[in-house]
């Protein structure tokens, strides 16, 4: 099955495409299309979202026309999809981009993109939502995001070319087998050897295991592997 997906993954993302001047959330629109039977690769983009969703119940803000806001319907998605998506976005951002497990993409320590995969595994589809700050100016963001958000620093005219590069990078990342994907991901691991905290616990990040989990060395000795959720980077 993986072989079939790898062979079939080439150049199928982005068609058909629905572009909206404004919507609530591209993930909502893509989800409705997926439920109605939209094919693998169906793309929804918007210039503006009124109810953009982030991970952990947060909202996602972006000034109209300055960020890529997109969702893709993926049928039979791989288990490591969130990591593959992060790798693709980091590739578009450049060689210096890093990934904060599981899928925040950072440039100079600032988050330039967020990824939200939502799906119905039992129905064989996932909606992959990506917000990429292509051309936004930090001062146009809400004050609470200005210390942590980043941008590629491009112009609105660069949105479509960046989308093309992102779709191509995503196709390449989805075509990798798990070991190759994880090797490339590890090269961009922003947490490696850093102090992290999560859900009331702390430890030192010690890499990514063969299943895409974050390995953490615990202060009391021993290690644990985190499956999902959110870790926070402690100040060094
Ligand atoms: C995160 O919290 O880091 C994930 C943010 C994901 C935002 C994108 S923007 C396009 C798509 N539509 C949404 O409502 N959310 C995702």
Q: Do 152 and 226 sit in the same domain of this protein? A: no
CB of 151 within 8 A of CB of 133?
A: yes
Query: What was the pLDDT predicted at 236?
Result: 60
- What six digits make up the tokens of 154? 């491009």
Pairing mode of beta strands 110-120, 125-132:
antiparallel
Q: Do 123 and 181 sit in the same domain of this protein? A: yes
Taking the centre of ligand 1 as the mean of its atom positions, its distance from the CA of residue 206, in whole angstroms, is 27
Residue 143, Cβ neighbours under 10 Å: how many? 7
Q: What is the domain-level CATH number for residue 225?
A: 2.30.30.100
Specify the residue with its C-alpha closest to ligand 1, atom 9. Answer: 131
Q: Do 6 and 56 sit in the same domain of this protein? A: yes
Taking the centre of ligand 1 as the mean of its atom positions, its distance from the CA of residue 5, in whole angstroms, is 25
Q: Do 40 and 125 sit in the same domain of this protein? A: yes
Query: What was the pLDDT predicted at 12?
Result: 84
> With a 6 A CB cut-off, is 29 part of the ligand 1 pocket?
no
Q: Do 103 and 126 sit in the same domain of this protein? A: yes
- Among 48, 54, 106, 126, residue to substitute to test ligand 1 (most atoms within 8 Å of Cβ): 54
> With a 6 A CB cut-off, is 114 part of the ligand 1 pocket?
yes
Q: Do 111 and 202 sit in the same domain of this protein? A: no
Specify the residue with its C-alpha closest to ligand 1, atom 10. Answer: 69
State the burial class of residue 108 (Cβ atoms within 10 Å of its Cβ: 0-12, 13-18, 19+): exposed
* Strand ranges inside 40-194, DSSP E: 43-46, 68-75, 98-100, 104-107, 110-120, 125-132
Query: What was the pLDDT predicted at 72?
Result: 98
Give the global pTM.
Answer: 0.93
Q: Do 153 and 207 sit in the same domain of this protein? A: no
What averages of pLDDT result for each successive group of 10 residues across the chain (236 residues)? Answer: 41 91 98 96 98 94 96 94 97 97 96 94 91 95 93 98 98 97 98 94 96 96 89 79
Domain that holds residue 79: 2-186
Q: What is the domain-level CATH number for residue 152?
A: 3.30.930.10
Q: Which candidate, 71, 65, 68, places its Cα nearest to that of 17? A: 71
Query: What was the pLDDT predicted at 184?
Result: 98
Q: Do 175 and 221 sit in the same domain of this protein? A: no
Q: What is the largest CA-CA distance in the chain?
A: 53
56: left (phi over 0), alpha (psi -120 to 50) or beta: left
> With a 6 A CB cut-off, is 25 part of the ligand 1 pocket?
yes
List Cα–Cα distances, 164 to 34, 53, 92, 187, in angstroms: 22, 23, 10, 24
């Amino acid at each position: 099955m993986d072989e079939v997906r790898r062979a079939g993954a080439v150049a199928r993302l982005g068609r058909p495409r629905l572009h909206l001047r404004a919507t609530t959330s591209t993930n909502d629109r893509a989800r409705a299309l997926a439920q109605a039977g939209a094919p693998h690769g169906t793309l929804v983009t918007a210039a503006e979202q009124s109810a953009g969703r982030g991970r952990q119940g947060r909202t996602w803000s972006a000034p109209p026309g300055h960020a890529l806001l997109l969702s893709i319907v993926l049928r039979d998605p791989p288990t490591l999809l969130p990591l593959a998506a992060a790798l693709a976005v980091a590739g578009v951002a450049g060689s210096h981009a890093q990934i904060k497990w599981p899928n925040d993409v950072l440039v100079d320590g600032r988050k330039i993109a967020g990824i939200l995969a939502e799906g119905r595994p039992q129905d064989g589809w996932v909606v992959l939502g990506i917000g990429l700050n292509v051309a936004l100016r930090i001062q146009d963001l809400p004050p609470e995001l200005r210390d942590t958000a980043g941008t590629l620093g491009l112009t609105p005219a660069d949105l479509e070319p960046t989308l093309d590069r992102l779709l191509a990078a995503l196709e390449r990342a989805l075509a990798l087998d798990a070991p190759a994907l994880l090797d490339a991901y590890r090269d961009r691991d922003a947490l490696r050897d850093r102090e992290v905290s999560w859900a009331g616990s702390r430890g030192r990040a010690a890499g990514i295991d063969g299943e895409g989990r974050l390995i953490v060395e615990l202060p009391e000795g021993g290690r644990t592997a985190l499956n999902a959720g959110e870790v926070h980077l402690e100040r060094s």
